[in-house]
Amino acid sequence: MPREEIAVFRPYPFKPGQKIHIETGPRCGDWQVLRVGERTVTLQCPVSGKVFEWSQFCYMVDEQTERPWPDTGSV
């Protein structure tokens, strides 16, 4: 069987208290993880304070340190 290049995705294992940045899409921006359910994740915007619960959707691409958070310059 020939070898092929494939992309492998795994759901990101969110942890309450994490500070995350979603780079693109309708949920882009800085968020704090409030709760993690079996199939949902609850995120809070650190600027507006709004809270949203969504089905888990993120996959990790990169991990960065020494990055400003929240980054109010990108709002």
Residue type, 13: P
Integer-rounded Cα radius of gyration of the chain: 15
pLDDT in tens, 30-49: 999 999 999 999 999 999 99
Show Cβ contacts of residue 28 under 8 Å, excluding neighbours closer than 6 positions. Answer: 22
Q: Give mean pLDDT, residues 60-73.
A: 72
Q: Between 31 and 24, whose confidence is greater?
A: 31
- Segment (H or E) for 42: strand 40-44
Its pTM surpasses 0.85: no
